[in-house]
Amino acid sequence: MRTATIKRKTKETDVEVTVDLDGTGVAKAATGIGFFDHMLDLLAKHSRIDITAKAVGDLHVDFHHTTEDVGIALGQAVKQALGNMAGITRYASVLMPMDETLTRVVIDVSGRPFLVFKADFPRDKIGEFDTELVREWFQAFAINAGVTLHVETLYGENSHHIAESCFKGLARALRAAVAIDPKTAGEMPSTKGQLGG
Ligand SMILES: [Mn+2]
């Protein structure tokens, strides 16, 4: 079973995240941030990873801590659920359209944490959500999942569409990269014989 639960409690947030990499895309997102729950729902749906994300955070300050800490916990959960990564497909690249927006997401599920994120948001906020937090979430996720992740919005005008294309692109890339490759019969997808740096 490729599942994991991460609990993380600080003075700023209390977060619990569970993932099942071989799920059906069931999401239970309750972070107290409507737009962010919407993004987590999309991530689960299009990755087919079951994701439960509960968070009680200091939303009276702003949404930064809660968004970042859910990213940290979700990244750690994915990493733990992957185990030694034997047999995974490892690489995936996706072009994700959303109306006028097109975003490219490329991932290497490798134990090598790195983020390149190039997306400009025309607006500072989507609802009450600061658009700069999209990058913060991707940074927290990539570093804690131990994945190399390149996200670039090639063009787009609507901030909601831009954010959504980033999350949906990640979803489809993750779905392909963490899938077990039947041709490899459980081998490590590395000439080094191991993943993890
Ligand atoms: Mn939407």
Q: Could you tell me if residue 193 is inside a domain?
A: no
CA of 164 to the centre of ligand 1 (A): 6
- Enumerate the β-bridge partners of residue 152: 104, 118
Confidence of residue 160 (pLDDT cuts 50, 70, 90): very high
Domain span at residue 81 reads 3-177
CA distance 138 to 71: 7
195 CA from centroid of ligand 1 (Å): 35
- Would 190 be classed as within a structural domain? no
pLDDT of res. 196: 79
Stretch 151-157: mean pLDDT: 98
- Compute the distance between CA of residue 59 and CA of residue 124 in angstroms, rounded to an integer: 18
The vertex-44 CA angle with 154 and 173, nearest 5°, equals: 40
The answer to whether residue 51 is domain-embedded is yes
Report CA(183)–ligand 1 centroid distance (Å).
36
pLDDT the model gives residue 193: 86
Neighbours of 124 (CB within 10 A): 10
Question: Which strands form 101-109's sheet, in the order they lie side by side?
Answer: 91-98, 101-109, 147-155, 114-118
pLDDT at 184: 87
Asked whether residue 189 is assigned to any structural domain, the reply reads no
* The pLDDT of residue 9 is above 90: yes
Cα of 123 from ligand 1 centre, angstroms? 15
Query: Which helix (DSSP H) or strand (DSSP E) does residue 29 occupy?
Result: strand 27-30
From the CA of 35, how far away is ligand 1's center (Å)?
A: 8
The domain tally of the chain equals 1
* Domain contains 186: no
Q: How many A from CA of 25 to the centre of ligand 1?
A: 17
% of the chain at pLDDT higher than 90: 93
5: CA distance to ligand 1 center in Å? Answer: 27
Mean pLDDT of the chain: 97
Is residue 191 in a domain?
A: no
- Tell me, yes or no, whether 196 lies in a domain: no
**Global pTM value:** 0.97
Q: What is the pLDDT of residues 37-51, one digit of tens each?
A: 999 999 999 999 999
183: in domain: no
- CATH number, position 92: 3.30.230.40
